[in-house]
Amino acid sequence: MQLAKMVVKQQDPKQALEVISELPLENRYVWRITSALKWAFCDFDDINVEADRATLEESALKKVRELLRLRPVQFCLFLKALLGQEEMERIMLEALAMAKGD
């Protein structure tokens, strides 16, 4: 929060960055995102996803679609910020190829 406040107020973020640099990985922002993804997909099973898709009412499916709408973009932005544009593109293209079965 201190870093965000300093950036918004256009102050030198050096002190906030020093505090962040001393944090263990498990207390960092990127850990919260990556560990959430780990648990979100740890038992992924496309058979059950297909069963849900086949049995969900249209209103429920619409709600799920809306919840997912921005997630691919957010994930790309996360990868870009963490690893850079080129690596984000490489990872996403590799993921698309794998998902397609290419």
**pLDDT, tens only, 51-100:** 999 999 999 999 999 999 999 999 999 999 999 999 999 999 999 999 99
For residues 41 and 19, give the distance between their C-alpha atoms in angstroms, rounded to a whole number. Answer: 31
Predicted local distance difference test score (pLDDT) of residue 18: 87
pLDDT at 4 over 80: no
Task: Classify each residue of 24-59 as buried b or exposed e, where b means 16 or more C-beta atoms within 10 Å of its C-beta.
Answer: eeeeeeeeeeeeeeeeeeeeeeeeeeeeeeeeeeee
Please write the tens of the pLDDT for every residue from 43-64. 999 999 999 999 999 999 999 9
pLDDT above 90: percentage of residues in the chain = 78
Place of tokens 């590799």: 94
Mean pLDDT of 27-47: 94
